[in-house]
């Protein structure tokens, strides 16, 4: 991963959260801090690039809303960009707050990007240690953005520069104050699709190996229809094509039985599984805009036995 690629991925994700926080009602997930990590120039550039790409996303929509840039941007953001990041973040943080009540003391974010959880919940400073792990280029970019937005890194937030998809090591966390004896919660969002099944199994095994029973993880995965489903306005097909074109192709998808089997081998028990239909019912029901649960994407909450 190159520095610019890392920065762009993080920025586009923040753009989607910032757009939703500022312009969409009702809120699925209100990341009111996301906008602070994007300059006005970057917001404008991402917006213009999205609008100019409407022919790729949907030629009929390009014609229908020709000349109406704001409606085109709304359509692209709500159809293609935001549904999965918004709903999975809302689900993850709901589970995390419940796990904190059950005794979780450490939160490890695998692939943190420009995550803002720590800054949205300062009340957890003396309750939860947060470890954000991501590619070195992404971490340097985040530190720069925090400084520019005048956010100080608090003592309970630990930024770890590591490509965990190639090699996960607890030593990297221990060096930052992580305790393997403490009950821990992990998030792994937007990662599993880009790893092979072997890589996912190995990562899951290594992540859960040294933490105590009752530790938990929330992650998303693509089902067995990933490479066959077109989705609303071909958005699933578009997602797969865009990933391949960016040099980071999607590599794996699972049936529920396959996923259950993989987690069992890692000593994990599924507490909750949400299908696209269930995600839609929870987070998108009765909306009057374009937002709808993304086809083929599922969420899982699992605990270590």
* Structure confidence by residue, pLDDT tens digits, 27-56: 999 999 999 999 899 999 999 999 999 999
* pLDDT at position 7: 62
Backbone angles phi, psi at 253, to 5 degrees: -145, 155
pLDDT bucket at 11, cuts 50 / 70 / 90: confident
* pLDDT at position 129: 98
Q: Taking the CA of residue 305 as centre, how many other CA atoms within 13 Å lie in the half-sphere pointing to its CB?
A: 9
> Are the C-beta atoms of residues 167 and 150 closer than 8 Å to each other?
no
* pLDDT at position 1: 47
Q: What share of the chain is helix, strand, coil (3-state, %, to 5)?
A: 50, 15, 35
Stretch 126-133: mean pLDDT, rounded?
97
Residue 300 has pLDDT above 70, yes or no: yes
Query: Following CA atoms 257, 262, 268, 274 in sequence, which dihedral angle do they give, to the nearest 10 degrees?
Result: -40
d(CA 61, CA 286): 22
Of all residues in the chain, the percent with pLDDT exceeding 70 is 98
> Are the C-beta atoms of residues 109 and 138 closer than 8 Å to each other?
no
Whose tokens are 């040294």? That residue is 210
How does the average pLDDT of the chain come out, rounded?
A: 95
Q: What is the pLDDT of residues 224-239, one digit of tens each?
A: 999 999 999 999 999 9
> Are the C-beta atoms of residues 38 and 149 closer than 8 Å to each other?
no
Stretch 195-205: mean pLDDT, rounded?
96
d(CA 24, CA 289): 9
Q: Which candidate, 33, 81, 29, 32, places its Cα nearest to that of 53?
A: 81
* pLDDT at position 5: 59
**DSSP state at residue 81:** I
d(CA 89, CA 31): 10
Q: Where are the domains of the chain?
A: 3-81, 94-304
Q: Which candidate, 263, 234, 269, places its Cα nearest to that of 60?
A: 234
Q: Rounded to a whole number, what is the distance in angstroms from the first to the last CA of the chain?
A: 35
Residue 148 has pLDDT above 70, yes or no: yes
Q: What is the pLDDT of residues 66-103, one digit of tens each?
A: 999 999 999 999 999 999 999 999 999 999 999 999 99
Q: Which candidate, 256, 259, 247, 222, places its Cα nearest to that of 237?
A: 222
pLDDT bucket at 6, cuts 50 / 70 / 90: low
Query: Following CA atoms 151, 155, 156, 160 in sequence, which dihedral angle do they give, to the nearest 10 degrees?
Result: 80
pTM, two decimal places:
0.95
The radius of gyration of the chain from alpha carbons, rounded to an integer in Å, stands at 19
- Tokens encoding 8: 């762009």
> Are the C-beta atoms of residues 262 and 254 closer than 8 Å to each other?
yes
pLDDT bucket at 134, cuts 50 / 70 / 90: very high
Residue 120 is inside which H or E element, if any?
Answer: helix 117-120
pLDDT bucket at 9, cuts 50 / 70 / 90: confident
What superfamily in CATH does domain 94-304 come from?
Vaccinia Virus protein VP39 (3.40.50.150)
Of all residues in the chain, the percent with pLDDT exceeding 90 is 90
Give strand pairing partners of 89: none
- Tokens encoding 83: 């549904």
* pLDDT at position 196: 96
């Amino acid at each position: 991963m190159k520095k610019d690629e890392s920065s762009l991925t993080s920025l586009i994700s923040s753009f989607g959260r910032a757009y939703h926080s500022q312009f969409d009602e009702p809120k699925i997930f209100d990341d009111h801090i996301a906008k602070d990590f994007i300059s006005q120039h970057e917001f404008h550039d991402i917006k213009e690039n999205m609008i100019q790409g409407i022919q790729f996303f949907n030629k009929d929509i390009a014609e229908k809303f020709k000349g109406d840039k704001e409606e085109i941007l709304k359509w692209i953001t709500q159809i293609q960009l935001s549904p999965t990041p918004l709903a999975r973040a809302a689900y993850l943080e709901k589970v995390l707050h419940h796990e904190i009540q059950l005794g979780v003391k450490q939160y490890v974010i695998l692939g943190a990007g420009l995550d803002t959880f720590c800054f949205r919940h300062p009340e957890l400073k003396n309750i939860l240690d947060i470890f954000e792990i991501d590619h070195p280029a992404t971490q340097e970019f985040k530190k720069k953005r925090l400084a520019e937005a005048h956010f100080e890194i608090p003592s309970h937030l630990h930024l770890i520069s590591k490509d965990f998809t190639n090699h996960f090591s607890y030593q990297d966390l221990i060096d930052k104050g992580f305790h393997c004896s403490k009950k821990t919660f992990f998030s792994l969002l937007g990662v599993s699709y880009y790893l092979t099944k072997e890589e996912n199994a190995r990562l899951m095994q290594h992540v859960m190996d040294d933490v105590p029973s009752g530790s938990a993880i929330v992650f998303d995965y693509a089902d067995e229809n990933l490479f066959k489903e077109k989705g609303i306005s071909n958005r699933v097909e578009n997602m797969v094509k865009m990933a391949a074109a960016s040099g980071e192709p999607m590599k794996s998808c699972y049936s529920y039985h396959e996923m259950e089997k993989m987690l069992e081998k890692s000593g994990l028990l599924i507490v909750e599984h949400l299908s696209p239909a269930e995600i839609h019912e929870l987070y998108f029901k009765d909306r009057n805009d374009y937002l709808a649960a993304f086809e083929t994407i599922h969420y899982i909450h699992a605990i270590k036995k």
